Structure 1
Amino acid sequence: MSHDATTAAPTRTPKLGRAVRIGLAVAVLATIAGMSVRAYDYHRVAKWTDAQITPSVQVVTPENSGGVHGLTLPGHLDAWISAPIHARVSGYLKSWSRDIGSQVNAGQSLAEIDTPELDQQFEQAKANLARAQANARLAVLTDKRWKNLLTSNSVSKQEADEKAGEAEAAQANVLAAQADVDRIAALEAFKHIAAPFAGTVTARNTDIGDLISANSDSTPALFTVSDTSRMRLYVQVPQGYADAIKQDMSVQLDVPDHPGEQFTGRLIGNSGAVSQTTGSLLAQFEVDNPKGDLLPGAYAEVHIPMTGNSQTLTVPATTLIFRAQGPQVAVVGADNKVALRDVHIAMDLGDHLRIDKGLQPGDRVINHPSDSLAQGDLVQVARADARQE
């Protein structure tokens, strides 16, 4: 019995050892698998971290600036002729016959002023003229009589000369009185306010019964008449583009109240000097306006043609870097490292720049560079499909 018990124990030991070895093997495999997964995850995270550390940039390629390009500048329109009409005589407005928007001819009446004081002055001046003429006639007759008396030695030569002088003075008084009558008659004509030329009444600042004060700087114009068959277009051209203003050049202009329609202006002159206040050259253009579509005082966008230089390159203005070194752009090299280049701006077109120094055709220029971008930084170029996403 005891012998059987001792012989059964060794048969269970190998089974227990095999289970332990299997367990250890499974544990080792699990450990290796776990370490492999962790190593894979580590490398993947490290790769993702490196990708995040390396900034992604968008690049653009400079374009050749040859050919004809346009520069858009603001401008304003004025009537070819515009005359504010003030009163030359004082009184009260008796009536007006033309309102704003009315078409008038040269010399056509616009209004009439009631001038009772001036009328009385006119009557008085005519009376003074009549008195002067009567005095002159009497003085002439007296002069003749005294000359006849002088021939018979009835009067002295001194007395005769005095009468002759009085006759001449009387004639001069007639001329003075006549001039006064003519002056007031001219003022009487100003009671009727007339259009100085054919055009459109663009302003009326008076009404019946208004007190009219003549020759007062503080008094607004009663009417404004403008000739709008042609228009004057004024454009302030920055000094950097002043050489684009050439004789006999033409420009295209747009106005907000006529979208999609363009008008043509012809250069008729410029100021010939750069304003110290605005730093610009004032250019004046003539624009035909037969239908009256353009209005005085209107804003216009003026497109000025400009001939480009074949040696200049055009890049977006968003590529420019402003630092203490001056204007720069960041170019991505073949090794994806950043090179900062000093550039010279030949022309600023607002949203685009023309560069004549510092860039080469085919350069990859970083668009919207960050402020921290430095020389030699490693970057990665964003794919076009990634930017679209």
Structure 2
Amino acid sequence: MSCPMHRIITVAIAGLLVASCGPKKHAENLAKEQAGKNDEFRYSAVTIKGAQPVREINLPGELESFYETDLFPRVSSYISKIHVDIGDRVNKGQLLAELEAPELIANLTAAFSKVKAAEAMYQSSRATYQRALKTRKTPGAISEMDVETFWSKAMSDSLMVVAEQAHYESVKQLVDYLKITAPFAGVVTDRRLSPGAFVGPGGQNSVPLLKIKQLDRLRLRLAVPEAYLGDIRSGAHVQFSVRTFQNQVFSGNISRISHSVRPDTRSEMIEIDISNPDRKLKPGMFVSARLPVQSGEGSIFVPKTSVLSNMEQTFVIRVVNGVAERVSVERGDVTDSQVQIFGELKPGDVILKVASDEIPNKSAIAIETVN
């Protein structure tokens, strides 16, 4: 071996000997050094509070007119005139359509004649009875039996007048049905028939003449699931939106609760009165409503990131005296940023804000509490 190569090998061996003679780091020291480094990192933690956040549930619904009705003729007749059409606004009591039925007019005239005839007969029998009373003052001029007969005839004729007047009023009421008026203020939303059509029993009685809906006041009907029935309060404020006006939020208050659960849907119907003075909202619009509900007593809500699920369990990591403990929980209702949990937890417990499956159970951990 040449001299230069021999020198290189000698220097390398000397370097290894010097290195082997330096200070040694035992595994124990390495563990302490690593622990020191770990202590520098602190996990974010939150304190469970007893106060529960405001919760809302989103429910679909449909707007309806506060009042709406189909107008059907009540007597057999022909349509003479229709004074309104689709889209017309009407006031309460306004004349909408006129019908004609000549036979009803004839019956009314006949009934009126019978009333006058009965009144004339009563006037005659009453006058006869009064003359009999004057005649009875002369002894022997008239018998008591004749006086009673005249009295009975006058009473019978007076009752006949009452009967004929009642018949006349009933026929007059039928004649009044020939004029169809608006039962409330609203808008005509449908008209199916035209002048000349026969309506009433035996005619096109299955088709309404007009349909009227109230637009300045609406009602929103929502079906609330059975799980939330205990949280519904009359007068609660409800906000909703419609697809037509996506950037606008409307509101109203719960006015009526049905207090009856439908067995087919397991839900209870509630109604919200909606003021609609500008008539922007229309009956039949579908809405998305946000219904506030009150949290039940004993419920605990934590950040969604605090709850972790793996193949074995769903848990949160509670920190007690610097030690991480996995506590099994069950999920409940979910809000935008929090989730309701059930388990062996109570207000005041400290849990990690972000749970991690890499943190072993019963391991030491450093935390810092955040709001």
**Same fold, TM exceeding 0.5?**
yes
Is it true that 1:124 corresponds to 2:110 in the alignment?
A: yes
Question: 1:94-173 alignment to 2 at 5 Å?
Answer: 94-152=80-138, 153-173=140-160
Query: Aligned pair 1:93/2:79, yes or no?
Result: yes
- Give a deviation string over 1:245-280, Cα, whole Å, max 9, x none: 224321111112222221111121312343333222
Deviation sequence 1:192-221 (CA, Å, 0-9, x none): 111112111122232212222169996343
> Which residue of structure 2 aligns with residue 312 of structure 1?
301
Q: Which residue of 1 aligns with 2:62?
A: 76
Residue type at the aligned position of 1:206: L
Asked if the contact 2:55–2:335 (Cα under 8 Å) also holds between the matched residues in 1, the reply is: no
Q: 1:358 to 1:97 in 2, by over 3 A?
A: farther
Aligned to 1:67, the other structure's residue is in SS state coil
SS at match of 2:54: strand
- SS of structure 2 residue aligned to 1:170: helix
User: Could you tell me which of 202, 205, 229 is aligned with 1:242?
Assistant: 229
Aligned residues of 1:122 and 1:185 also touching (Cα < 8 A)? yes
1:352 to partner: Cα distance: 8.9
Q: Which residue of 2 aligns with 1:266?
A: 253
Answer yes or no: is the 8 Å Cα contact 1:79–1:228 preserved in 2: yes
TM norm structure 2: 0.68
User: Residues 215 and 157 from structure 1, CA distance in 2 versus in 1: closer, same or farther, beyond 3 angstroms?
Assistant: farther
Give aligned pairs, total: 297
In structure 2, what is the equivalent of residue 201 of structure 1? 188
Match of 2:25 in 1: none
Matched, 1:210 2:197: yes
Task: For 2:277, give the aligned amino acid.
Answer: P
Contact map agreement 2:316 2:352 (CA 8 A) in 1: no
1:252 to 230, 233, 239: 239
Counterpart of 2:13 in structure 1 is none
Amino acid corresponding to residue 141 of structure 1 in structure 2: A
CA gap 1:196/1:260 in 2 versus in 1, 3 angstroms: same
Max radius of gyration: which structure?
1
Counterparts in 2 of 1:167 and 1:133: CA distance versus 1, 3 Å = same
1:217–1:78 CA distance, 2 compared to 1 (3 A): farther
**Residue aligning to 1:177:** 164
Distance (whole Å) between structure 2 residues aligned to residue 215 and residue 354 of structure 1: 63
C-alpha displacement at 1:341, in angstroms? 8.7
**Contact 1:330–1:365 at 8 Å: present in 2 too?**
no
Tell me how far apart the structure 2 counterparts of residues 158 and 277 of structure 1 sit (CA, whole Å): 76
CA shift in 2, pair 1:278/1:358, >3 Å:
farther
Q: Give the match for residue 277 of structure 1.
A: 264
Contact 1:67 1:307 in 2 (8 A): no
Equivalent in the alignment of 1:188: 175
Paired residue for 1:224, among 185, 205, 211?
211
Q: Deviations over 1:31-75 (max 9, x none)?
A: xxxxxxxxxxxxxxxxxxxxxxxxxxxxxx99x895334311011
Rounded Cα–Cα distance in structure 2 between residues aligned with 1:281 and 1:291: 30
Q: Secondary structure at the match of 1:73?
A: strand
Tell me which amino acid in the other structure corresponds to 2:84: R
1:370-381 equivalences under 5 Å are: none
In the alignment, is the contact (CA less than 8 A) between 2:73 and 2:177 conserved in 1? yes
Judge which range, 76-85 or 348-357, deviates more.
348-357
Counterpart CA distance in 2 for 1:238 and 1:121 is: 58
Q: Which runs of 5+ in 1 are unaligned?
A: 1-60, 333-339, 367-389
| Structure 1: distance between partners of 2:202 and 2:152 | 40
1:13 maps to which residue? Answer: none
Match of 1:168, SS? helix
On the 8 A contact 2:299/2:341 being kept in 1, the answer is: no
Closer, same or farther: CA 188–97 of 1 in aligned 2, 3 Å: same
Relative to structure 1, is the Cα distance of residues 210 and 344 closer, same or farther in structure 2, using a 3 angstrom cutoff? farther
Return the alpha-carbon distance in structure 2 between the equivalents of residues 215 and 264 of structure 1: 47
> Cα gap change, 1:83/1:245 in structure 2, threshold over 3 Å: closer, same or farther?
same
Secondary structure at 1:228's aligned position in 2? coil
**2:34 paired residue number:** none
The structural deviation recorded for 1:151 is 3.7
Residues 310 and 133 from structure 1, CA distance in 2 versus in 1: closer, same or farther, beyond 3 angstroms? closer
Contact 1:139 1:167 in 2 (8 A): yes
RMSD (CA atoms): 3.9
- Whether the 8 Å CA contact 2:53–2:301 is kept in 1: the answer is no
**Structure 2: which amino acid aligns with 1:147?**
L
Kindly indicate whether residue 275 of structure 2 is the aligned counterpart of residue 288 of structure 1: yes
* Consecutive unaligned residues in structure 2, runs of 5 or more: 1-44, 318-325, 346-350, 358-371
**Length-normalised TM-score, structure 1:** 0.65
SS at match of 1:101: coil
Bigger mean CA offset, 194-203 vs 163-172: 194-203
